[in-house]
Amino acid sequence: MTIKLYCFGESGNAYKAALTLELSGLEWQPEFVDFFNGATRTAEFRAINPMGEVPVMIDGDITLSQSGVIQDYISSKSGKLGARSAAERRDILRWQFWDNQKLSGMAGVLRFNMNFIPEPKRNMGAIDFMAMRLKSAYRVLDGALAGRSWLASDQLTIADLSCCGYLFYTEPFGFERADWPNIDGWLTRIAQTPGFKLPYDLMPGSPADRA
Ligand SMILES: N[C@@H](CCC(=O)N[C@@H](CS)C(=O)NCC(=O)O)C(=O)O
């Protein structure tokens, strides 16, 4: 049975799940969620995910939300992109939790505030604060990648596919690859993985569609 992923192109959190699915080799299809017209607030969507968030994955009678949990499910089911030891599994979880709070948790909101909210409604104080917090996160990530190719293993895992979730988007949110050489090299390695696709090539919906 084909796995369904409820997603939209602008969502870096959905991208983590979509890219994991794509690289796992499992059969999947995207289900477009019209976030910018309020779809995540409808009763229909809340019946699938009471948290009101994308991504949501449905595989037969299993429905999951939270990108990290979906990634874990996909790597277990496919036997790919996961841990090869208990220690690696813990390290993957460390990076997923860190990413959800310190990296994607900030980058997603900052990018939304800087690009997708009408200009008069943007919160400039929040932009400065989140940009400052994110700089520390980029420093941590860049430091962790010094002298190593991947975050939690000697091969690509869902930890990498979590942390890169927002970093392939080109809308401005204060992240410049050139400022962070180890992150830059790591993103290049991820992009060179056979089957890799950029967010707007993997999921329906993009700023171009709404222009
Ligand atoms: N920790 C969650 C975050 C999910 C999330 O924030 N999704 C956003 C899109 S990127 C969303 O659907 N937000 C809907 C809303 O806040 O109303 C995950 O990793 O799945």
The 8-class DSSP code of residue 118 comes to -
| The amino acid at 189 | R
The ligand 1 atom at the shortest distance from the C-alpha of residue 108 is 10
> Which residue has the least CA distance to atom 20 on ligand 1?
66
Q: Is the CB of 100 within 6 Å of ligand 1?
A: yes
Give 3's pLDDT tier (boundaries 50, 70, 90).
very high
Average confidence (pLDDT) over 8-33: 98
Amino acid 151: pLDDT: 98
Average confidence (pLDDT) over 137-160: 98
Q: What are the tens digits of pLDDT across the range 99-116? A: 999 999 999 999 999 999
Q: How far is the CA of 185 from the centre of ligand 1 (A)?
A: 27
Average confidence (pLDDT) over 194-198: 98
pLDDT of 28 > 90? The answer is yes
pTM: 0.98
Q: What are the tens digits of pLDDT across the range 5-15? A: 999 999 999 99
pLDDT of 159 > 90? The answer is yes
Amino acid 210: pLDDT: 85
Among the residues of the chain, which ranges form H helices? 12-24, 43-48, 67-78, 86-98, 104-115, 124-144, 158-163, 181-191, 199-202, 207-210
Give 173's pLDDT tier (boundaries 50, 70, 90).
very high
